[in-house]
Amino acid sequence: MSDKPEANDDMESYKKAIDGTTQAQQDFLKKFSNLQVDAMQNFFSMLQGLTFYHAMFKTTIQSGGRISIPEAERQALKIEDGDLVQVIVIPIERKHKNNSVK
């Protein structure tokens, strides 16, 4: 009968270890979630900054690799012929021609 108090102590230690592990996992997930939320908020803030101070629009690549800046954006940014601008290109959709061999 002297084994029962030790078994109870072992069981209590085991329960405390499980509770501690569970709490540590919950704390980790909360911190990780907060990091993700912060990252998304920073990303959206950056996008808002880009669209607030600069123009963001879609255009089609023309012959010779030329692109056009729509008139509304040129006016809003006061861009005139001969002005130097920086362009960041992000492909959205590729148009593939049918090259079927006959």
3: alpha, beta or left? (left if phi > 0; alpha if psi -120 to 50): alpha
Residue 3 pLDDT? 54
Residue 7 pLDDT? 73
Residue 64 pLDDT? 92
Predicted model pTM: 0.40
pLDDT tens-digit series, residues 15-43 = 999 999 999 999 999 998 888 888 888 88
pLDDT tens-digit series, residues 74-87 = 898 889 999 998 88
